[in-house]
């Protein structure tokens, strides 16, 4: 659960992603409570405002919702939402750049598919 923070992305985005990862892996289930802002701040040694920003990002995405006086909870259907979002990201981040890199190396579509099949066998 505690992954290490790096400087590649804004901290609050990393916090949001870590919570999403936990939801995907069923570490936190739907309708369960997620750690509070203060708990996250203590765990990762970051400013609570940053943790709050990460949580709010997920609230805006419809992944979390707030139960007044109790805390933040995972929305029903959040897991699906995350998967969809991640697939879109996957397409942008990996597929598009894969094609770009292949193009710059002169790897054609057929060769590319051949490589994928070879990797799948392993």
Partner 1 sequence: MSLELKNITKCYGKKTVLNGLDLTLEEGKIYGLVGRNGAGKTTMLSIASAQNPTTKGEIMLDGETVWENQKCLNQICFSREIVNSADNVSSALKVKEYLRMAQMLFPYWDKEMADRLVEEFELDEKQKIMKLSKGMQSMITIIVALASKAKYTFLDEPAAGLDVVARENFYRLLLDEYSESGRTFVISTHIIEEAADVFEEVIFLNKGTIMLKENTEELLSRCIHISGKAEDVDDIIKGKRAFHQEKMGRSKGITLMLDGGEIFDKKGRDVEVSPLSLQDVFVALCGREEKL
Residues of this chain that interact with partner 1 (CB under 8 A) are 5, 7-12, 38, 41-42, 44-50, 53
Q: 88 and 64 in contact (C-beta within 8 Å)?
A: no
Q: Among residues 8 and 121, whose Cβ is nearest to partner 1?
A: 8
Considering the complex, what minimum distance in angstroms separates the CB of residue 26 from partner 1?
28
Residues in the chain: 122
Strand ranges of the sheet holding 64-67, from the earlier edge strand across to the other edge: 33-34, 71-74, 64-67
Q: Among residues 56 and 81, whose Cβ is nearest to partner 1?
A: 56
Considering the complex, what minimum distance in angstroms separates the CB of residue 3 from partner 1?
14
Considering the complex, what minimum distance in angstroms separates the CB of residue 119 from partner 1?
27
CA–CA separation, 45 and 25 (whole Å): 24
């Amino acid at each position: 659960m505690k992954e290490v923070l790096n400087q590649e992305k804004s901290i609050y985005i990393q916090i949001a992603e870590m919570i999403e990862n936990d939801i995907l892996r069923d570490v936190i289930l739907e309708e369960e409570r997620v750690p509070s802002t203060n708990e996250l701040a203590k765990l990762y040694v970051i400013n609570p405002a940053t943790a709050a920003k990460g949580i709010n990002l997920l609230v805006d995405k419809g992944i979390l919702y707030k139960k007044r006086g109790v805390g933040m909870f995972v929305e029903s259907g959040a897991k699906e939402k995350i998967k969809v979002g991640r697939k879109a990201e996957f397409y942008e981040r990996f597929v598009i750049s894969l094609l770009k890199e292949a193009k710059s190396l002169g790897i054609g579509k057929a060769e590319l598919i051949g490589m994928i099949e070879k990797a799948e066998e392993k």
